[in-house]
């Protein structure tokens, strides 16, 4: 259920069409060695995930999705997913997004709030806007998995 929360969170963030650019599928996207560095490596990715989960868990628009979740584990799993999307060299979350997206109950309507929370977290880390857009574009293909309720 917890890893489902990670995937659902990522999918919800990716589902906000007003903010996201559509990037190529992961197999087709070129590697960008500077992207991981723009987020200040593994430590920066962890900080982004920590800020995102803390902010989203306190955000009244989506906080209900985070009740009864193991937030430290959610932070680790989301950091691993971000790291993977940034072509970083971090540990894998263990399961693919489609397999774990169930459990958090994130709706398409939650996408805007979660995207704003992720943008805030990336700004807190000082990630350049271009790098932020690249991460959001890499999340975009997952939006088809978002629950439409």
Domains of the chain plus CATH, in order, are: 2-16+31-144 (1.10.490.10)
Supply the mean pLDDT for the chain.
Answer: 77
58 vs 144, which has greater pLDDT?
A: 58
pLDDT for res 30: 73
What distance in Å separates the CA atoms of residue 85 and residue 138, rounded to the nearest whole number? 6
For the chain, state the CA radius of gyration.
14
Q: 32-41: per-residue pLDDT in tens?
A: 879 999 999 9
> Which of 26 and 90 is assigned the larger pLDDT?
90
Residue 133 pLDDT > 90: yes
Quote the pLDDT of residue 28: 59
Q: Where does the pLDDT of residue 23 fall: very low under 50, low under 70, confident under 90, or very high at 90 and above? A: very low
Is the pLDDT assigned to residue 19 strictly greater than 70? Answer: no
Q: What is the pLDDT of residue 117?
A: 96
Q: Looking at per-residue confidence, does 57 or 69 come out higher?
A: 57
Asked if pLDDT for residue 45 goes beyond 70, the answer is yes
Distance between CA atoms of residues 80 and 78, nearest Å: 5
List CB contacts of 45: < 8 A, sequence separation 6 or more. Answer: 36, 39, 79, 82, 83, 86, 88, 90
pLDDT at 91: 63
What would the two tokens of residue 90 be? 């971090």
What pTM was computed for the model? 0.76
Dist. CA 75–CA 53, nearest whole Å: 6
State the pLDDT confidence band at 1, using cuts at 50, 70 and 90: very low
- pLDDT-derived band at 46 (thresholds 50, 70, 90) equals very high
């Amino acid at each position: 259920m917890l890893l489902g929360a990670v995937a659902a969170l990522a999918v919800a963030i990716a589902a906000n069409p007003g903010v996201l650019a559509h990037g190529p599928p992961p197999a087709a996207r070129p590697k960008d060695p500077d992207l991981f560095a723009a987020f200040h490596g593994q430590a920066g990715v962890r900080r982004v995930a920590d800020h995102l989960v803390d902010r989203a868990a306190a955000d009244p628009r989506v906080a209900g999705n985070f009740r009864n979740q193991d937030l430290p584990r959610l932070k680790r799993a989301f950091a691993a997913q971000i790291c993977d999307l940034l072509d970083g060299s971090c540990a894998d979350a263990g399961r693919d997004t489609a397999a774990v997206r169930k459990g958090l109950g994130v709706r398409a309507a939650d996408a805007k709030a979660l995207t704003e929370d992720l943008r805030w977290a990336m700004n807190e880390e000082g990630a350049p806007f271009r790098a932020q857009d690249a991460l959001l574009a890499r999340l975009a293909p997952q939006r088809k998995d978002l629950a439409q309720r």
